[in-house]
Structures are given as C-alpha cells and as structure tokens.
Structure 1
C-alpha cells in the first residue's frame, strides 16, 4: 500500500464521520455559500500576473513538520500583499496539519484572492464542505480517482460555481480529464515515491491542449525554475514549502515575486 492509498483510506473514514455530524443542508447555511467566487483561471491569465499560488501548510508526509509557528491570517494576508495569483490552503489535518478553520480564516482575511481547498477529494460531500468554508476552487488528484469519479466531482463543483483544478503526474492520468476542468496542475512529485523531477511538467505540459490553463506543482524553489516553466507554456506555479520553511513566509514570498519581476 502506498502513502496515497493510506491517505485516501483514512479520508474515506473521515468523510463518513463528517456526514454523520453535518448534513449537506447544514453546509448550505454557511455564510460563505452565497458569495461570488474569485476565479484563479482569470487571475493567472491577467496582464502582469505573478502566476504564484502560495501555499499555507505546516507539515507534510514527505518533510514532516515544516512550520508550526506560522499563523494563517498573517501568512495568507502577506501572500496577497506580495502579489500572488492565488492561495492554497491545506485542510487535511492528519497528514498536513490543516484545518477547515484555516480555510475560513484565510477567506475572511482575503476576500478577493482566489483560494484553493487542497485536500484529497473523493466524495461530492467534500465539494460542499469546500464551498461552505470559503474555497473558490477544489483540487482533484487524478491518481486517486477514476474518470467517472472525476466527472462526478467536477459536475458537483460546477453546480456550486467552483472552479476545478486537476492534478496529474502521468500520461495515463491526462486521459481522465473532462471538459469541466478549468486548470490542470502537473505534480512534479511522484505521490507514490515522493521523488521530484521538474521535467515531469515539461513532458506532460506538452501533451495538454494548447488553450488549457496549466500550473506546475512541487519542487519549485528558484526564479530560474519559474522562467524555465514559463517558456514551457505554464501559467502558474504552486509553491508551499519554499515559503513556509522560512521564519516569515509572507516576506519570503514578497522577495521571490520581486525577483521574478526584475
């Protein structure tokens, strides 16, 4: 069993418990449910966009504890001030130290910045959770889903006016994409071995439809990485650990974007 299998099995148990505690109807009463979403697809394509999607996460299965002192409102607000195109908030507690409270706090502090709920999405119920806690888009990991499951989750997202980011790592996973997908993210990290290779983005990016908005994820640590991937046709760059491992993630993000724009 891979770590991804373990995480997904645990997530199914979590979702089953969550459904017992909070119904779909109760989720719909969230004050965030009626808000108009901010489009990451639009901000990534905007003139002068940094393309940076900065992530807030305190730990990960591959790195362990990254930053337990960082506070989500302070960090996410600093990300927005730095000029990011979007923010990614981990909501998986067991493996990434995330929480719905982090998502809701980041939403309240950054009303106009697109925010991704980053988690292991396996059930339509989780899409409602994302909407209820202030997300603008959801992440679907192709390695975790069949083509049919991905379509069902994409349809649910569209019913709730959320954008869909699909993460792929192999050529076979590209075959699972559907017409409702807004953005494709190529994960340079193999979720089964945790090995990272930026050439994964270059190789798979060349196989995507030309008009598809695409982002590169994992292992990005330098301005040179970003310039290289821009030349390969990428619109966005998901960066988490690179900022979060510093004492001041927001300042690290600001300095990185300033370098990027020189």
Structure 2
C-alpha cells in the first residue's frame, strides 16, 4: 500500500466518524454557509503573478516544514504580499492541518481560500462551505469520473469553485468537464514523491483554454513561473518554498517583488 492509499483509507474512517458526530444539518446552519464566495479562478485570471500561497505544517515527503505558524497571521501576510489566493491544508494526520485553520484564515482575510483536502465524500464539501472556503480541491488520482462529476456539481450548487488536480494524461482524460473551474497539474508523483515541472509542460496543450491552468508542487523560482507562463499557466501553487522559512508572508512578498 503506497502513501496515497494509506491517506485515503484513513480519510474514509475519519469522515465516517465526523458524520456520526456532526450531522449535515449542523454544517448547513453555519453562519458562513450563506456567504457569497470570492472567485479564485477570476483572481488568477486577473493577476500578474497567479500565486496561490499555501499553509502547510508538514507533509509525508518532508515531515516537519513549519510547526510554529499562526495561520491567521500567515493569511494576512500572504494577502498583504499580493498573492491571488491561499491554499489551506486541512488534513490532520499527514499534514498537521485542520478545519480550524481554514476558519481562522477566513476570519483574517477576504482573499479566496482553497480547502486543500483529500475529498472522498460530499460531507467534506459541506464542511468546506461551512468553514469559509471559496474553492475545493478534487484529486483525480483518488476519484472515478462519476465521483468527479458528482462532487464538482455539488460544489457548484453550493457556490464553491473547483480545482481538479491531475498527475498524468490518463487522469486528465477522465477529468475534463464543465463543472470544473480550474485544472491543476501536480508536478509531484504522489506515489514516489519525485517532482518534475515537465509534467505541467507536457500536459498543458491538452488542457482546454476554458479552464484556468494551475501548476502545483516543485515551484521554487521566478524562472520556473516565467517558464510555465509560456505554456498557458495562470496559477502557481507554492507551499514549501514559503512555509519552510521563519516568515512565510515576508518570503512571499520578496518573491512577488522579484517576479514583478
């Protein structure tokens, strides 16, 4: 069993437990549930940098990245730095995140927030809405075509945007559908954790222009972004590069100044 299979197996148990404790009706009564979201796709299209800055404490590939952050402060600093949006990891066991991180980020900023999670159930999409997300991540590697359709359409019905993540041509082929807003290419192989920007480059021509193209993982230089922009990418998800420093917001600000 590879790490992705382990994460999904644990996620199913976690979601079943949550559903037994907090009913859907309680999520739907959240004060944030009727909130009108901010468009991440629009922010990326209108941005000169397209950076989605991530809040990530640790990961299975790097273990501890930064355990000493205040997510609200990081969110404000990211917003002041001029990022297009923020990705908030909410997985507890493998990434050290939580839904409370999403809630604190929402309380701190107006910019679009992406709930980054291993979504395998509609219940998690309700959670995303209830805790203040503007967009959700769906991972093609762990979902069937029917699930991608069902989950993305459900998200849209709640006013959430959808970023669909692929790793190869096979995943992309099953994923293109009108209920998506953004198509992301993860440059990290989720089974081996090897990273190559060539993944984004090779798949770019196969992504229809209707979708905002987002490149994820392994982006740590100005040159990489300038290079990927030539392939039609408008969004760039950056996590470790900022989070591994003592001041993620300051790192993002310096990066964006150089990029501009």
Is the pair's TM-score, using the shorter chain for normalization, greater than 0.5? yes
Match of 2:151 among 143, 150, 153: 153
Give how far 1:49 is off: 3.2
CA contact (8 A) 1:116 1:135 kept: yes
Number of the residue aligned with 1:41: 41
**Distance in 2 separating the partners of 1:176 and 1:103:** 30
Q: SS of 2:88's equivalent?
A: strand
Number of the residue aligned with 2:7: 7
CA contact (8 A) 1:220 1:239 kept: yes
Could you report, residue by residue, the CA deviation over 1:5-43 in whole angstroms, capped at 9, with x for unpaired residues?
Answer: 100000000000000011110001111101100000100
**Distance in 2 separating the partners of 1:190 and 1:130:** 26
Give how far 1:212 is off: 2.0
Could you report, residue by residue, the CA deviation over 1:44-80 in whole angstroms, capped at 9, with x for unpaired residues?
Answer: 111x432000000100000000001111011111000
CA contact (8 A) 1:49 1:85 kept: no
1:183-198 matches, cutoff 5 A? 183-198=182-197
Q: SS of 1:120's equivalent?
A: coil
Segments ≥4 residues shifted beyond 6 Å: none
Structure 1: unaligned runs, 5 residues or longer: none
CA contact (8 A) 1:154 1:164 kept: yes
- RMSD between aligned alpha carbons? 0.7
**Distance in 2 separating the partners of 1:91 and 1:62:** 17
1:98-137 matches, cutoff 5 A? 98-110=97-109, 112-137=110-135
CA contact (8 A) 1:43 1:49 kept: no
Q: SS of 1:54's equivalent?
A: strand
Q: SS of 1:68's equivalent?
A: coil
Q: SS of 1:74's equivalent?
A: helix
Number of the residue aligned with 1:162: 160
**Distance in 1 separating the partners of 2:132 and 2:145:** 27
Number of corresponding residues: 259
Give how far 1:175 is off: 1.7
Q: Provide TM-score, normalisation by structure 2.
A: 0.98
Could you report, residue by residue, the CA deviation over 1:202-255 in whole angstroms, capped at 9, with x for unpaired residues?
Answer: 001111112321110000000000000011110010000000000100000000
Match of 1:173 among 159, 171, 174: 171
